[in-house]
Structure 1
Amino acid sequence: MSACLMAGAAMLTLAAGNGFTLEWTHSVERQAWRETWVVTPQHRLKLTEAAVKGSGAGMEPGPGGHFEEGWWVWSPDLPAIAALSLAASGATPSAWRLCAARCIDLGAAPGQPVGVTAMPCPGAG
């Protein structure tokens, strides 16, 4: 299975098997945050791992979190979702960095708002 990025009428297939990572810099604490997502057999997105470089307002590691290679890492126990909406004001210190077979930055220009949805590709599987 694959995952897609839908942005308006454009669709980008992420050709890295069934998963991707999403990384950004927290807008208040200025610390890196990373999530690992997979596409389930039911064509949904499942968050399998989250990691933060530091802690602070809104950045506390989840239950079972452990320190690994400079990151607090844990596996969130959340249900799979149909789509993941990414939004930014353009005032955040970094773009969204989405990596699969390759990495792309979304909303990288200063003041550039981004409204992107990641979802399983129609008919993937």
Structure 2
Amino acid sequence: MIGLCLGLAGAVWATLPAPSFTLAWDHTIEKIRWEEDYRVTPGGLLLGEARVRGSGAGMEIPDGAVLREGAWHYQRQVPPLQPLRLGRTPEAGDYQLCDAEGCKPFSEWLGPPKASQPVVELWSCEMKGD
């Protein structure tokens, strides 16, 4: 079964049986929520729709975005990400992984963000069966 691995440089810190997920975070300065929907595939993480709830410093609304339900919705065409590399520091706050059951901070699986470990990677991986 394909799942989602969290870790760095191939070292797995946590695995989740997530066929799809939303990555969410608040912009560090503007405090505006961003969300990106991903599908987990054997070739990597496929970015689907993305949303941002406003604009501000360094946060231009992408061309073709549509305002719907208080957020700008848009899509970008990018190849599968394998891995998706994210900066993660105490000053920036934590990312959230969301699914049908709700959103949980990365700290749920990885502990709080640390200055000594400012990066995390997400990638699709084969999960061991029960």
TM-score bracket, shorter-length normalisation = 0.7 to 0.9
Aligned partner of 1:97 in structure 2 is: 96
Q: Can you give the 5+ residue segments of structure 2 that lack an aligned partner in the other structure?
A: none
Code of the aligned partner of 1:112: K
Task: Provide the rounded CA distance (Å) in 1 between the counterparts of 2:43 and 2:100.
Answer: 19
Q: Once superposed, what is the RMSD of the aligned Cα atoms?
A: 2.5
Aligned partner of 1:120 in structure 2 is: 124
Task: Provide the rounded CA distance (Å) in 2 between the counterparts of 1:9 and 1:80.
Answer: 19
The count of residues paired between Structure 1 and Structure 2 equals 119
Pair 1:80–1:20, CA change in 2 (3 A): same
Aligned partner of 1:29 in structure 2 is: 30
TM-score by length of 1: 0.78
Code of the aligned partner of 1:76: R
Task: Provide the rounded CA distance (Å) in 2 between the counterparts of 1:71 and 1:115.
Answer: 28
Pair 1:24–1:54, CA change in 2 (3 A): same
Task: Provide the rounded CA distance (Å) in 2 between the counterparts of 1:68 and 1:43.
Answer: 31
Task: Provide the rounded CA distance (Å) in 2 between the counterparts of 1:82 and 1:89.
Answer: 22
Q: Secondary structure at the match of 1:20?
A: strand
- The structure carrying a bigger helix percent of its residues is 2
Q: Percent identity between the aligned chains?
A: 32
Q: Can you give the 5+ residue segments of structure 1 that lack an aligned partner in the other structure?
A: none
Pair 1:11–1:63, CA change in 2 (3 A): same
Map Cα deviations across residues 34-74 of structure 1 (whole Å, 9 max, x no partner).
Answer: 1111123x421111111111101222222220011111110
- Shift of residue 101, structure 1, vs aligned partner: 5.5
Code of the aligned partner of 1:35: E
Map Cα deviations across residues 51-109 of structure 1 (whole Å, 9 max, x no partner).
Answer: 111101222222220011111110111121211112123212x3101123553312585
